[in-house]
Chains A and B, each alone.
Chain A
Amino acid sequence: MDSAARQALQQGMARLADGDRSAFGPVFAVLHPLVVRFCARLLPEGTDAEDAAQAALLKVFTRAADFDASRDALPWVLALAAYECRTWRKARQRRREEAPPDEQVLDAAEGPESRLAGAQLVSALRDVLGDLKPEDAATLAAAMGDTERPDVPPATFRKRLERAMTRLRAAWRTRHGLE
């Protein structure tokens, strides 16, 4: 977005916050494609990105009256959009945890290079899993469907998984030096 467009957005958001309804059309015309592109980068899967972009736009306009004109409009809008994308990503993760493994759809478009890279990644992951505590490894194995899930409430399992993922990331960084 060039500086003139950014300035126009800033003025439009300030007018909307003040209650000038004539600013709605121009602001929507600028924000719609911007938020769609932004969400598509954060959520590569098509339908989730569209849904998140729509939810983000609705959130932006619901909160438009709260916009403080002394702040920069573009980061404010993108922060709301990023939060919506994060919410959609977490919801998708929860849906995957709760779905049985045989209902997960394989990507038919995967080629041999992708499968090889995936296999190498799985091998690297199993090396790192060996560095973790047994409880964390068991939690991650259950999440991946390798073993049966323990008999605990879903919220408890999610918390254990979150902690295990944090330790997994730290172990990955230690072993491989990158995320």
Chain B
Amino acid sequence: MDSSELARRARWAYEQGRLVRALPLGGYGVVLMLCAAALSTRTSVWMWVLGALFTGLLVAYGWRGGVLGRAVVPGVLGGVLPLLVPPLVMASGHMCASGCRAFCVWACVGGGVLAGVLITRAASAVPQARRGGFVLAAGVLASLCGALTCVLYGLSGVIGVMTGLVLASAPVLVLRRA
């Protein structure tokens, strides 16, 4: 086998090795999807769609590595916070009927803010030049994770999580540019 062919095969082996190593990260996605289904009073198709996207991104981030790989754990941990909001709201006895839906959406915003705080704290360990990318990557994961349950309140619930994340992480992005 000549050197260029060997290099091509070695590169392929490297990418395969990275992908195999990243596959277990999809387990986080599956577990969180099942948790979301268990904690929700009802599930929607959108929950499974978002869950599949979340799981796929986890594996993709792990395979790609670098800033994306480092964003996995903070993104997942941050996403668990808004994910727990709807079940906690319902456990407190509050029913999110059409009249007081706003409270539930604001609760999702609050969950998003907490996720954003966690992610920005984790970003302090990342080199300055890559901090914006890290916050964005982790924020996408946390949004998808939180949306697994906040999607119960419709698109507004999902937007609520993302709004909270943006509010909490915007200072990092603004200071980076300053």
Contacts and interface: CB of A to CB of B under 8 A. Distances in A.
Interface of A: 16-20, 24-25, 28, 32, 54, 57-66
Contacts of B1: 54
B13 A65 contact: no
B64 interface: yes
Size bracket of the B interface: 10 to 19
B73 to A, nearest CB: 15
B16 interface: yes
A60 B16 CA distance: 12
Contact of B10 (A17, A58, A65, A66): A58
Contact of A18 (B3, B10, B66): B66
Interface of B: 1, 3, 6-7, 9-11, 13-14, 16-18, 21, 64-66, 68-69
14 contacts: A18-B65, A20-B65, A28-B7, A28-B10, A28-B11, A32-B7, A54-B1, A60-B10, A61-B11, A61-B14, A64-B17, A65-B14, A65-B18, A66-B17
A64 B65 contact: no
A61 B68 CA distance: 21
